[in-house]
């Protein structure tokens, strides 16, 4: 085996490991809210997850997003327009607001629920809105 073929073998192995790591990051670590951002329309992306003493995790995402990309983003994630707060029931209702006791320093959406989209699953609620040129996502896992 020549030195060139050994080097190519090592480089091939490194490439496979790098591709594997990228796939793990994309599909297992990165949230669907981040993955669903349109790459050509979203910039200045910030995200963070905080957990409180009651083991409630809150995921925050803010991204500069073109206004015309927001409806498609919400549709892709199957979010519904929140036209009636009574649509959110059970434990999810207590987390259905833009307030956050503990939040990253860059988190600054208004508390208005107008034009808020949402999704509720068994143990989570996700809120989304477009405001002042930014997409805001707040996902609470309780």
Is residue 54 domain-shared with residue 100, that is, in the same domain?
Answer: yes
pLDDT in tens, 73-123: 999 999 999 999 999 999 999 999 999 989 999 999 999 999 999 999 999
Decide: 104 and 33 in contact? Cβ < 8 Å: no
3-state per-residue secondary structure call for 64-130: EECHHHHHHHHHHCCCEECCCHHHCCHHHHHHCCCCCCCCCCCCCCCCCCCCCEEEEECCEEEEEEE
**Residue 65: how many CA atoms within 13 Å on its side-chain side?**
27
Question: At 10, is the pLDDT very low, low, confident or very high (cuts 50, 70, 90)?
Answer: low
State whether 93 and 132 are in the same domain: yes
- Say if residue 25 is in the same domain as residue 43: no
pLDDT for the residue 24: 41
Work out how many domains the chain is built from and give that number: 2
As given in the structure block, the two tokens for residue 113 are 């629920």
In the predicted structure, residue 140 carries a pLDDT above the cut 90: yes
User: Both 75 and 122 in a single domain?
Assistant: yes
pTM value surpassing 0.75: yes
* Structure tokens, 17: 């490991």
**Does one domain contain both 60 and 130?**
yes
Report, as an integer, the average pLDDT of 8-19: 52
Are 68 and 98 members of one domain?
A: yes
Query: Each residue of 28-79: pLDDT tens digit?
Result: 468 999 999 999 999 999 999 999 988 999 999 999 999 999 999 999 999 9
């Amino acid at each position: 085996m020549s030195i060139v073929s050994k080097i190519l073998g090592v480089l091939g192995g490194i490439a496979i490991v790098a591709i594997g790591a990228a796939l793990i990051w994309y599909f297992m670590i990165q949230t669907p809210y981040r993955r669903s951002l349109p790459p050509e329309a979203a910039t200045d992306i910030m995200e963070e997850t905080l957990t409180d003493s009651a083991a409630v995790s809150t995921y925050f995402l803010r991204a500069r997003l073109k206004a015309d990309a927001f409806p498609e983003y919400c549709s892709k994630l199957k979010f519904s327009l929140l036209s009636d707060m009574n649509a959110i029931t059970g434990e999810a209702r207590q987390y259905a607001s833009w307030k956050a006791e503990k939040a990253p320093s860059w988190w600054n959406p208004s508390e208005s629920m107008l034009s808020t989209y949402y999704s509720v699953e068994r143990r989570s609620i996700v809120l989304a809105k477009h405001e002042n040129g930014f997409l805001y996502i707040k996902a609470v896992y309780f």
